[in-house]
């Protein structure tokens, strides 16, 4: 599980670095922007308040859009971005556990809020 999270983190960070490169095609930038907008904006296919399914669509759609954006990157841009991503990961190894802990805390808070709302 940790290995998979690290790979996703590396790829997402690499895509972020690649988006700042002028050689990155506009399509990749658009896909990444759509993924970010879908993750942050309150407009979803399934509302986030729907138990499990509301979060499941985010878990499926956002990584899919990011993977499509990464596939459209030129090989040199992707290689350079992955190198930068690995460099950052080596210098800041605490980011992955901190992000995981933050995510678990937010999910716990959401679960507690739903439990309280249903119990009232």
Quote the crossing angle between the two packed helices 75-91 and 2-19, to the nearest 10°.
120
Find the Cα–Cα–Cα–Cα dihedral 76, 82, 88, 94, rounded to 10°.
170
Asked if pLDDT for residue 114 goes beyond 70, the answer is yes
pLDDT of residue 109: 92
- Domain span at residue 16 reads 4-116
pTM over 0.75: no
- Comparison of pLDDT for 84 and 55, the residue scoring more: 84
CA neighbor of 36 nearest in space, from 50, 53, 16: 16
Cα dist from 7 to 22, 43, 54, 62, whole Å: 25, 28, 24, 15
3-state helix, strand, coil in the chain (%, to 5): 80, 0, 20
| Structural domain total, the chain | 1
pLDDT in tens, 12-43: 778 888 888 889 899 888 888 888 777 777 66
């Amino acid at each position: 599980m940790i290995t998979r999270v690290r790979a996703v983190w590396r790829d997402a960070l690499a895509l972020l670095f690649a988006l700042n490169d002028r050689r990155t095609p506009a399509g990749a930038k658009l896909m990444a922007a759509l993924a970010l907008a879908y993750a942050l904006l309150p407009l979803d296919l399934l509302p986030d308040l729907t138990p499990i399914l509301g979060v499941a669509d985010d878990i499926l759609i956002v990584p899919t859009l990011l993977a499509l954006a990464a596939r459209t990157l030129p090989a040199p841009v992707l290689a350079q971005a992955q190198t930068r991503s690995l460099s950052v990961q080596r210098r800041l190894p605490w980011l992955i556990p901190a992000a995981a802990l933050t995510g678990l805390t937010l999910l716990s808070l959401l679960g507690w809020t739903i439990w309280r709302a249903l119990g009232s």
